[in-house]
Amino acid sequence: MQTLSTENYLKAIYHASQSASGTVATTSIANKIGAKPSSVTDMFKKLSDQKLVKYEKYQGVSLTNEGVKTALRIVRKHRLWESFLVSHLNFNWDEVHQVAEQLEHIQSEKLTNELERFLDYPTHDPHGDPIPNRALFMKSYNKILLTELPLNKEGVCVGVKDNSSDFLRYLDRRQIGIGTPILVLHREDFDQSLHIQAGNSTLMITQKTAENIYIKP
Amino acid sequence: MQTLSTENYLKAIYHASQSASGTVATTSIANKIGAKPSSVTDMFKKLSDQKLVKYEKYQGVSLTNEGVKTALRIVRKHRLWESFLVSHLNFNWDEVHQVAEQLEHIQSEKLTNELERFLDYPTHDPHGDPIPNRALFMKSYNKILLTELPLNKEGVCVGVKDNSSDFLRYLDRRQIGIGTPILVLHREDFDQSLHIQAGNSTLMITQKTAENIYIKP
DNA sequence: AATATTTTTTAGACCAATCTAAATTTTATA
DNA sequence: TATAAAATTTAGATTGGTCTAAAAAATATT
Ligand SMILES: [Mn+2]
Ligand SMILES: [Mn+2]
Ligand SMILES: [Mn+2]
Ligand SMILES: [Mn+2]
């Protein structure tokens, strides 16, 4: 049985190992969790004792099979709850993270599975991230960053890289969301800013914005 | 901001002070929480420092106004979640307690209030207990124990005193639930057992059962 | 009222999770 | 490759929540 803290660490390690190859460094987890590196080292040892990570001094960690499973169970709950909050409780996609961060720790298989049924087996959460099913399997789109979408090639927004409230609310104001069709009309060589067609409106976005939007071509 | 542990203590003190008058004793909380009396004393001191209880050595505790409010906020969440689990997630009334015990600690006013709206402002939980509204006000029925219902006077089951799975499943088998009309046909002087009409069926119940069923006459 | 029993508190310890400060190892740079 | 910088670990302390064992107070019984 995991504690709230070990669960948060496992999830952080899982996410970190998705976006980088090789082992996960102490400081990267320290930053994600908001703890000091020395605390992270302590936790690495504990997780290693539980055989949830492989850890060698000064070499970072990687999740074991059991560690991945435990992490995915938490990710599953997190994304199901986020979906529920948006679809039934009038939460906006920028408001759900903090609450799901708590709800993901509720221990009840029946609750998780019934919630999934109630939501009609959603495959993606409000941010476009895939939801692991009961067998912890998930299928993600073959997605690219908006910066990589060729000119005049029709694509659809299927996710965001930056999940911060600031960014999500900015997208709301620009009327860009999951499912919005996107077309790149012009790419400015000077600063890599883009003129795009998003849904029915034409607008300009910066490179920084573009590299935080996932597109299914 | 309360911890999970202080919240559980406040709720336990609240419930204990409902069913007995005067202050709440150390051992009664120790039994409810499943902790040793010495741990309870420690917690009484902490809660007293936070001005959530009034505590005098060897004299037990009583909740302050602020303590009552904090307890009611948790009770509110507990009962709303229980209602949700039964009405939308196919939980039986004997399965909800353990999960609600966790969910009651989720901190998000928006979540609580939206859940209440989603459930259409329920006034009572699956066990017939009143749900405090946003202002923490609740109205309970004018209820009596089934042992006190006069012969041949029509009543309705509106709650249970014992919330254990064993008792609730026993009532399920007897087809007694919240809302079931009850009529006492005969009271056996020898052992205080009752012949009752519950819904459409006639059955016999022991005194022990009868004194755990609340009736609105 | 004296004594026995029960209840409650205190003292001292432990565990998980964190921290700071110092030591050690790895990595980068001159 | 020697040295400087950065990353990581160790040592030791702190906090919240718990425990056991012993002491103290309240309550019940003779
Ligand atoms: Mn979390
Ligand atoms: Mn998400
Ligand atoms: Mn609880
Ligand atoms: Mn209940």
In a domain, B172, yes or no: yes
In a domain, A76, yes or no: no
Ligand 4 centre to CA of B101 (Å) is 10
A107-110: Cβ within 8 A, 24+ apart: A107/A1, A107/B102, A108/B98, A108/B99, A108/B102, A110/B89, A110/B91, A110/B95, A110/B99
Domain with residue B172: its CATH number is: 2.30.30.90
Identify which of A99, A110, A114 has the shortest CB distance to residue B111.
A99
Any alpha helices (H) in A4-64, and if so which ranges?
4-19, 26-33, 37-49
The whole-number pLDDT of residue B3 equals: 97
**Last-in-domain residue among A30, A46, A63:** A63
The whole-number pLDDT of residue A28 equals: 97
Total domain count, chain B = 2
The backbone torsions φ and ψ at residue B80, rounded to the nearest 5 degrees and listed phi first, read -65, -45
In a domain, B95, yes or no: no
The whole-number pLDDT of residue B21 equals: 84
| Residue B102: closest C-alpha in chain A | A106
Ligand nearest to the CA of A128: 2
Q: Please provide the average confidence, as pLDDT, over all residues in chain A.
A: 97
In a domain, A160, yes or no: yes
Domain span at residue A59 reads: 4-63
- What is the C-alpha separation between B194 and B187, in angstroms, rounded? 5
Structure confidence by residue, pLDDT tens digits, B100-156: 999 999 999 999 999 999 999 999 999 999 999 999 999 987 999 999 999 999 999
- What is the C-alpha separation between A95 and B79, in angstroms, rounded? 24
Domain with residue A18: its CATH number is: 1.10.10.10
User: Which of A122, A138, A141 has the alpha carbon at shortest distance from A82?
Assistant: A122
DSSP A148: G
Q: Please provide the average confidence, as pLDDT, over all residues in chain B.
A: 97
Amino acid at B111: L
In percent, how much of chain A has pLDDT > 70?
A: 100
**Last-in-domain residue among B63, B78, B107:** B63
**Last-in-domain residue among B63, B79, B101:** B63
Res. B1: pLDDT tops 90: no
Three-state SS across A116-147?
A: HHHCCCCCECCCCCECCCCCCCCCCCCCEEHH
- What is the C-alpha separation between A114 and B106, in angstroms, rounded? 19
DSSP B107: -
Residues in a beta bridge with A73: none
Res. B19: pLDDT tops 90: no
| Residue A103: closest C-alpha in chain B | B106
In a domain, B36, yes or no: yes
Identify which of A89, A111, A117 has the shortest CB distance to residue B111.
A89
In percent, how much of chain B has pLDDT > 70?
A: 100
- Global model pTM greater than 0.75: yes
The DSSP secondary structure of B125-149, one letter per residue, reads -TTSPBPP-TTS-------EEGGGS
Q: Which pLDDT band, with edges at 50, 70 and 90, does B70 fall under?
A: very high
Asked if strand C contacts A29 at the CB level, meaning under 7 A, the answer is: no
The whole-number pLDDT of residue A20 equals: 81
Residues of A with CB under 8 A from a CB of B: 85, 88-91, 95, 98-99, 102-103, 105-108, 110-111, 114-115, 117-118
How far does A32 lie from chain B, in Å, by closest CA? 21
Mutate to test the interface with B, among A108, A114, A118 (most CBs of B within 10 A): A108
In a domain, B91, yes or no: no
- What is the C-alpha separation between B192 and B202, in angstroms, rounded? 17
The whole-number pLDDT of residue A19 equals: 86
Say if CB A38 and CB A99 are below 8 A apart.
Answer: no
In percent, how much of chain B has pLDDT > 90?
A: 96
Q: DSSP strand E in chain B: where? A: 53-55, 61-63, 144-145, 155-160, 181-187, 194-198, 201-205, 213-216
In a domain, A183, yes or no: yes
Question: How many CB atoms are located within 10 Å of the residue A51 CB?
Answer: 11
E strand or H helix at B12: helix B4-19
Query: Mean pLDDT across the stretch A128-150?
Result: 95
- What is the C-alpha separation between B193 and B204, in angstroms, rounded? 7
Res. A1: pLDDT tops 90: no
In a domain, B12, yes or no: yes
DSSP A104: T
